[in-house]
A and B are shown apart, each in its own frame.
Chain A
Amino acid sequence: MNGVPMAAYLLLGLVLFTIGVVGVVIRRSPIVIFMCIELMLNAVNLTTLAFARYLPQFVAGRERGHTAVAGEMIVIFIMAVAAAEVAVGLGIIMAIFRLRDSTDIDQMNVLRG
């Protein structure tokens, strides 16, 4: 967007990522921890997209279009990996909950079922 410097997008991505990190550390429910991981992935997506959008006209002597598409591909693949990760992770949480009847992350310190 005209008039918005790239640093603004990077700063927002940094703030969102930090909020996600703090959330992973302080929360005890695994579902909320998962949400914070999603927040971190989205912050990275925003950063990648900002870098792709604000590329200079020529990158290493080539027209920038090719490199800009690479940035968007990274975002698409991160979204796909996040979808797979959420499906498997929530399945694991359900399995643990069924086994132990509690979802406090501090009590999940044994790997035996």
Chain B
Amino acid sequence: MNPNLFAFSVVAILSVLSALGVVFFKNAVRSALSLVATFALLSVLYLTLDAQLLAWTQLVVYAGAIMVLFLFVIMVLNLSKQPALIERRDPKLMLATLLGFGFAGIIGVQVVTPLLPPSEIVKDPVLAPNGFGQPQAIGMALFTDYGYPFEAISVLLLVGIVGSILLAKRRLR
């Protein structure tokens, strides 16, 4: 096993464990914190994929902004009622786990198996594409070829801001 694959396996196993923590911790705050760990580990994986800008964006947007929002909401709900965030076990768990394994099996057989090492479909290239993950290349693409999607996203974010303020107002009409 080469050292790169070993490092990848360590990060991958840690991220799977913290993702399992999100699902199986009873307390919502613990779930949120292990989701932060998952996002941080995923940004390490983005770095291994040579996507530097996206790795830092992942840290700032997900581990920073989105998780702070989650923790704020948990805090607000927690103030008013304690047990609402801690739930009891129920019998769906076994069935859902089985269905999840089935789902993973179906997709894995269809998508991942043809790509496993003996196959010749994808030969792993040594170098990343030119300028891959660099801010210059992404900025150029974002403001030239992807101008319309960029504007559409900005309108969507504006609608999101207005909508969340409207929903969070004291009186909902």
A interface with B by C-beta (< 8 Å): 1-12, 14-16, 18-23, 25-29, 31-32, 34-36, 38-39, 42, 45-46, 49-50, 52-57, 63-65, 68-69, 72-73, 75-77, 79-88, 90-95, 97-99, 101-104, 113
Mark B153-173 against chain A: 1 for CB-CB distance below 8 A, else 0: 100110111011111100010
**Interface size classification for chain B:** 35 or more
Chain B residues in 8 Å Cβ range of A2: 2, 4, 124, 126
Secondary structure dominating the interface of A = helix
CB of B133 to closest CB in A, whole Å = 7
Query: With A27-B87, A56-B125 in contact, do A86 and B2 touch (Cβ < 8 Å)?
Result: no
Question: Closest residue of chain B to A81, judged by CB?
Answer: B156
B interface with A by C-beta (< 8 Å): 2-5, 7-8, 12, 15-16, 19-20, 22-23, 28, 31-32, 35, 38-39, 42, 45-46, 48-51, 53-54, 57-58, 61-62, 65-66, 69-70, 73-74, 76-77, 80-81, 84-85, 87, 90, 92-93, 96-97, 99-101, 103-104, 107-108, 111-112, 115-117, 122-126, 128-133, 137-138, 141-142, 145-146, 149, 153, 156-157, 159-161, 163-168, 172
